[in-house]
Structure 1
Amino acid sequence: MNQLQSMRVFVKVADLGSFVGAAGALDLSTAVVTRHVADLEARLGTRLLNRTTRRLSLTESGRAYLERVRHILDDLEGVEQMVVARNHEPVGTLRIVAPVVFGLNSLAPVVQSYAARYPAVVPDVTLADRHVDLVEEGFDVGILAARHMRSASIVTRRLTTGYLTVCATPAYLALHGTPTRPEHLLKHPCLSRPAEQGGEERVFSGPDGEVRVRPVNAIAANNSEMLRQFALLGMGVAILPSYLIGRDLASGRLVRLLGDYRLPQVEITIAYPSRMHLPAKVRTFIDHLVEHYQQAGDHARDARIVTVANPVAGVLAERDEVAVPALPREVARRVPKAVRARAVAASQV
Structure 2
Amino acid sequence: MDKLAGMKVFVKAAELGSFAAVADALEMSPQMVAKHIAALETRLGAALINRTTRRQHLTEIGRRYYERCRVVLTEVEEADAVVLNMQATPSGIIRVNAPVTFGSYTLSPFISRYLAAWPQVQVELTLSDRIINATEEEAEVLIRIGELTDSSMVAWPLAPYRLIACAAPSYIARHGMPQTPAELQHHACLVYGYWSATMPCRWIFHKAGKIEEVRPEGRLRSNDWKALMHAALEGYGVTLGPEDVLKEEIDKGRLVRVLPDYSGPSRPMHILVPSARKQTTKIRCFVDAVRTEFANK
Q: Shared fold by TM > 0.5?
A: yes
1:191 aligns with 2:190: yes
Deviations 1:165-196 (A, max 9, x none): 11111111111111110010000110012355
Distance in 2 of aligned mates of 1:276 and 1:239: 37
Distance in 1 of aligned mates of 2:172 and 2:125: 38
Deviations 1:196-230 (A, max 9, x none): 59961222212471212212122110022211011
Distance in 2 of aligned mates of 1:112 and 1:166: 29
Structure 1: tracts of 5 or more residues without a match: 1-83, 299-349
How far the C-alpha of 1:268 sits from its partner, in A, is: 2.3
Report the TM-score when normalising by structure 1: 0.56
Distance in 1 of aligned mates of 2:85 and 2:288: 14
Distance in 2 of aligned mates of 1:191 and 1:268: 24
Q: Which residue of 2 aligns with 1:171?
A: 170
Q: Which residue of 2 aligns with 1:335?
A: none
Output the aligned Cα RMSD. Answer: 2.4
How far the C-alpha of 1:285 sits from its partner, in A, is: 0.5
Distance in 2 of aligned mates of 1:120 and 1:171: 48
Aligned residues: 212
Distance in 2 of aligned mates of 1:99 and 1:199: 21
Deviations 1:218-267 (A, max 9, x none): 21100222110111111111111111211110011110011121223122
Q: Which residue of 2 aligns with 1:244?
A: 245
The one-letter amino acid paired with 2:152 is S
Deviations 1:307-343 (A, max 9, x none): xxxxxxxxxxxxxxxxxxxxxxxxxxxxxxxxxxxxx
TM alignment of 1:275-294, pairs within 5 A: 277-294=278-295
The one-letter amino acid paired with 1:117 is A
Deviations 1:265-294 (A, max 9, x none): 122210111165212211111011122234
Q: Which residue of 1 aligns with 2:107?
A: 107
Q: Which residue of 1 aligns with 2:230?
A: 229
1:261 aligns to what SS in structure 2? coil
TM alignment of 1:118-197, pairs within 5 A: 118-147=118-147, 149-196=148-195
1:163 aligns to what SS in structure 2? strand
Deviations 1:98-143 (A, max 9, x none): 1222122212332223223332221111112221222221011012
Structure 2: tracts of 5 or more residues without a match: 1-83
Distance in 1 of aligned mates of 2:85 and 2:156: 20
Distance in 2 of aligned mates of 1:85 and 1:241: 40
The 1:238/1:152 distance shift into structure 2, 3 A limit, reads same
1:247 aligns to what SS in structure 2? helix
**Would you identify which runs of 4 or more consecutive aligned residues in structure 1 move more than 4 Å?**
84-88, 195-199
How far the C-alpha of 1:86 sits from its partner, in A, is: 9.1
Distance in 2 of aligned mates of 1:169 and 1:236: 8
Distance in 2 of aligned mates of 1:272 and 1:85: 23
The one-letter amino acid paired with 2:293 is H
CA contact (8 A) 1:156 1:269 kept: yes
CA contact (8 A) 1:85 1:278 kept: no
Distance in 1 of aligned mates of 2:109 and 2:238: 30
The 1:219/1:85 distance shift into structure 2, 3 A limit, reads farther
1:284 aligns to what SS in structure 2? helix
Distance in 1 of aligned mates of 2:160 and 2:214: 23
**Which piece of structure 1 moves more, 261-270 or 176-185?**
261-270
2:122 aligns to what SS in structure 1? strand
Distance in 2 of aligned mates of 1:102 and 1:199: 23
1:216 aligns with 2:217: yes
How far the C-alpha of 1:87 sits from its partner, in A, is: 4.5
Distance in 1 of aligned mates of 2:218 and 2:128: 24
Bigger RCO (CA 8 Å, 6+ sep): 2
Report the TM-score when normalising by structure 2: 0.65
How far the C-alpha of 1:153 sits from its partner, in A, is: 1.1
Distance in 2 of aligned mates of 1:109 and 1:116: 11
How far the C-alpha of 1:145 sits from its partner, in A, is: 1.1
Distance in 1 of aligned mates of 2:263 and 2:95: 35
